[in-house]
Chains A and B, each alone.
Chain A
């Protein structure tokens, strides 16, 4: 792992190809409904709320952190994703997978598969082996599909480093659309519900 990379804009700021494809896909839907499970971020809410019909916010990172503090059993984590089947054209998963055990990832994948409309897409990231992956972080959307990775040192979440193969297996319910590897080591995935 490299040193402190958060202050290096070349590592913590990048153009997200997956986000571009995700949004291009949503543009084909007239009244798109998108779920963002990432950390609550004002910039992101403004960005997506202006581009989709209905933006759903459910901060799973908050629940993950709080539930750990409250020592609730892991299965309580999923009660927050209580949306009806086929609710969404897209789900912004960000790097939630990084902070879940394998079993939790599988449960989350099943829940997302149920909530996603056929043809809908999931955008996910993996910071695991990247230079920005040593602590929890959030992604802030800027202009021109640029994402800024912000550290969240106050978040107490374990980090699980996984290979591409492991991630694809855990999310095998979905069809992989495209994946990207960036200079900062971060990986992005776009999955589709067929």
Chain B
């Protein structure tokens, strides 16, 4: 069932467009028997126990894919918690949390990530790094020699080399 679905819209057909403010504690639940195809946009937290295929945009809010959730979508949210099955790319402004029951396949871009041992991931993970930004900036400005070699693959002086 779909509870408190005040702010969910899809590309094809807006479900409900509320006019009143939504409190930060409210959460919409897409129940086990619900399947949505299209883009889900909202301005409150969302729990998916059903199936969503397409896209999910929850700017500034928390998306949870529940244990029964089946999502094939690109996801944008403040925080994302994955307990169910997700195929797609996740872009979180803050944190992505993946529990041990999760089955995730896709890319994750976030500020931070937590993963419980036992989860299944086939993933690419890219965390936002402030220090990395600064370093890259410094290299671009100052040390041309360093930047010229920065794409070189890692190399080490080895005992095997010495033996040769």
Interface residues of A (CB under 8 A from B): 21, 24-32, 39-42, 45-46, 49-50, 53-59, 62, 80, 89-90, 117-121, 175-178, 190, 192-193
Contact = CB atoms under 8 A, between A and B. Distances in A.
A46 B119 contact: no
Given A49-B127, A50-B127, A30 B120 contact: no
A192 B152 contact: no
A177 B154 contact: no
A193 B127 CA distance: 27
A76 to B, nearest CB: 15
A79 to B, nearest CB: 11
B160 interface: yes
A32 B129 CA distance: 13
A90 B127 CA distance: 18
A171 to B, nearest CB: 13
Interface of B: 112-127, 129, 132, 136, 139, 147, 149-156, 158-161
B154 A119 contact: yes
B113 A29 contact: no
26 contacts: A25-B156, A27-B154, A28-B152, A28-B155, A29-B150, A30-B151, A31-B151, A40-B119, A42-B115, A49-B113, A49-B126, A53-B126, A55-B126, A56-B125, A57-B122, A57-B123, A57-B124, A80-B122, A89-B153, A119-B154, A119-B155, A120-B153, A120-B154, A121-B154, A175-B160, A190-B156
B74 to A, nearest CB: 17
B117 A40 contact: yes
Given A42-B116, A175-B158, A175-B160, A55 B153 contact: no
A97 B52 CA distance: 39
